[in-house]
Structure 1
Amino acid sequence: MTDDAPTAETDGEGLTDADQRTAVRERYSRIAAESSSTESSCCEGTDSCGDASADESRRLGYSDADLDAVDGDANLGLGCGNPTAIAGLETGDTVLDLGSGGGFDCFLAAREVGETGRVVGVDMTPEMVETARENVEANDASNVEFRLGEIEHLPVADASVDVILSNCVVNLSPDKPQVFREAYRVLRPGGRLAISDVVLTAELPDGVRTDPTSVAACVGGAASIPALDAMLTDAGFADVSIEPKSDSDEFIREWDDERDLSDYVVAARIEAEKPASRQRPSRGDAAE
């Protein structure tokens, strides 16, 4: 971390929380609809879109084995990293994915935790949840389920989760401190966060923070490393680590045709732990 990094919050200043959530929901509803519609797909019966999505996923850190392991419309080419690669999942873990989208990271996590583990995805977009549930059948994933809900108000029981994943979603929230408080609540003592997200490295150009499209596209709502560190610490987390990915400019600069967004944001690995108590509940208990 650098002492002179920007610390101002950029949670869509000038936008109400409701406006921000509406912009995000509309964008991802559209993406979910397009993923399941041949007519609206840019592929139109070809493999070009699938190839492009696979190439993008490789740049985010997914292996060919990861891409081959998941069927259906789970991989929508979204995200800014591979949180399952940093999570250190173990057999029997209960895993929660914040903003699970089509479920790609959930299905990868399900491979790691095995039949005795469980994976729960939460997304606020009904169309995404519907798509993800269809993908459960496509992947015959009996240990994966998806719930409709906001990451600021998780439909998950207290102290019922071993590991929380998230892929470029926390930046979309208008209330990030509440997201981390909720994450802390649902984690078991000794549980941990493994998040891929974008962080702010320089002040955004005028108008970007308040542009609903920019906020919904994982830019306008990005927070600085010091701000995120403070949020996690205030929520009760320990061993906070936020490590920028030096090569993320390769894909971030393609997010906008008018400006190089890698001048302002960078993808990062965000990790933290909920301090362990003397007696930790056994792994794999259901997230009610």
Structure 2
Amino acid sequence: MPETSDTSTESGLDAKTQRKVVRERYASIAAGKNEAESDCCSSDDSCCSSAETTAPTDETARQLGYSKTELESVDGNANLGLGCGNPQAIASLDAGESVLDLGSGAGFDCFLAAQEVGKAGRVIGVDMTPEMVEKARTNASQNDAENVEFRLGEIEHLPASDESIDVIISNCVVNLSPDKPQVSDEAFRVLRPGGRLAISDVVLTAAVPDDVRADPDSVASCVAGASTIDGLETILTDTGFESVNIAPKDDSDEFIRDWDDDYDVSEFLVSATITARKPEVGDE
């Protein structure tokens, strides 16, 4: 599996170190050392449910956009938390479509997507942590998800063929990448003409305090590696995407402010929906 180059990142860490701390956190969660954590976070003061809980509360699920029906429709422990949004709410999936989930974790969003695309569709989850991929595959068996598969890989180097995907989803994972332009390029490559992005993630609204920016725990817990809205718009547009729209979630401060014990991170971070479209043939 190729390694991302040692380049500068939004965080205060070099790319190699950033990837290492993120992979270690995900591996720890997958190993069951803290089952209350979310797919995007892994400390008890970060972006989701606290260590005292064993499942996300109905209130947290409501804030992030999941319905009670969605939460009850997936068996097993695929839902390790709730990330920072619900990409299903913006994906508008149709029966028969192919879906790729960037940073699929234990598979929760993949299983929800599979219900939408039906047996004629397919869902691929990609995660860079072997322990998480193994957990997701176990969950797939428990959910009889025959149209879902999980692949080990980096979102900067997607294990998917060119123009094979209709929709890319992701939940609070792109912010963890040290090379977001490469993520955008790869997403563009694997999408079919007319394919679309439907991503929930966090974006910066102000500068991150220097000590937070350089803290590995803050990077791995979705706080210090986020981009600005303008920065993400530029990345996606430069790649070739059109109809780029990044919409902050106005009430995300209700849950974001609790992600860190020392800072109110809602002062510089907000959850957002990120949508874009690859041009149809002839539109480019």
Q: 1:50 offset after TM fit, Å?
A: 3.9
Residues 242 and 278, structure 2, Cα contact 8 Å, conserved in 1: yes
* Deviation string, structure 1 residues 16-48 (Cα, Å, up to 9, x no partner): 21100011011111111127979xxx9xxxxx7
* Deviation string, structure 1 residues 91-148 (Cα, Å, up to 9, x no partner): 0000000000010000000000000000000000111101100000110000000000
The equivalent position to 2:32 in structure 1, one of 31, 34, 44, is: 34
Residues 36 and 73, structure 1, Cα contact 8 Å, conserved in 2: no
Distance 1:171 1:59 in 2: 20
Counterpart secondary structure, 2:137: helix
Q: 2:274 matched to which residue of 1? A: 270
Between the two proteins, what is the percent identity of the paired residues? 64
Superposed, 1:39-50 pairs within 5 Å as 49-50=53-54
Q: 2:154 matched to which residue of 1? A: 150
Superposed, 1:60-209 pairs within 5 Å as 60-209=64-213
Distance 1:230 1:208 in 2: 25
Counterpart secondary structure, 1:207: helix
Counterpart secondary structure, 1:246: coil
Matched, 1:221 2:225: yes
Q: 1:239 matched to which residue of 2? A: 243
Q: 1:12 matched to which residue of 2? A: 11
Distance 1:92 1:196 in 2: 23
Residues 106 and 120, structure 1, Cα contact 8 Å, conserved in 2: yes
Deviates more, 1:21-30 or 1:154-163: 21-30
Residues 35 and 80, structure 2, Cα contact 8 Å, conserved in 1: no
* Deviation string, structure 1 residues 229-277 (Cα, Å, up to 9, x no partner): 0000011100000000001001101101111000010000000000011
Residues 55 and 80, structure 2, Cα contact 8 Å, conserved in 1: no
Q: 1:11 offset after TM fit, Å?
A: 2.0
Q: 1:58 offset after TM fit, Å?
A: 2.8
Change (3 A) 1:212 1:24: same
Residues 56 and 77, structure 1, Cα contact 8 Å, conserved in 2: no
Change (3 A) 1:37 1:277: closer
Gaps (5+ residues) in structure 2? 1-7, 37-43, 45-51
Greater Rg over alpha carbons, structure: 1
Change (3 A) 1:184 1:37: closer
Counterpart AA for 1:31? I
Distance 1:115 1:22 in 2: 37
Change (3 A) 1:212 1:78: farther
Distance 1:51 1:150 in 2: 28
Residues 123 and 129, structure 1, Cα contact 8 Å, conserved in 2: yes
Distance 1:214 1:272 in 2: 28
Number of corresponding residues: 262
Q: 1:6 matched to which residue of 2? A: none
Distance 2:129 2:146 in 1: 22
Distance 2:240 2:199 in 1: 17
Gaps (5+ residues) in structure 1? 1-8, 43-47, 280-288
Counterpart secondary structure, 2:77: coil
Distance 2:194 2:111 in 1: 23
Q: 1:211 offset after TM fit, Å?
A: 1.1
What is the root-mean-square deviation of aligned Cα atoms in Å? 1.9
Q: 1:3 matched to which residue of 2? A: none
* Deviation string, structure 1 residues 195-221 (Cα, Å, up to 9, x no partner): 000000001112211111111000110
Q: 1:53 offset after TM fit, Å?
A: 4.9
Distance 1:246 1:123 in 2: 29
Q: TM-score, normalised by structure 1?
A: 0.87
Residues 171 and 198, structure 1, Cα contact 8 Å, conserved in 2: yes
Distance 2:229 2:115 in 1: 31
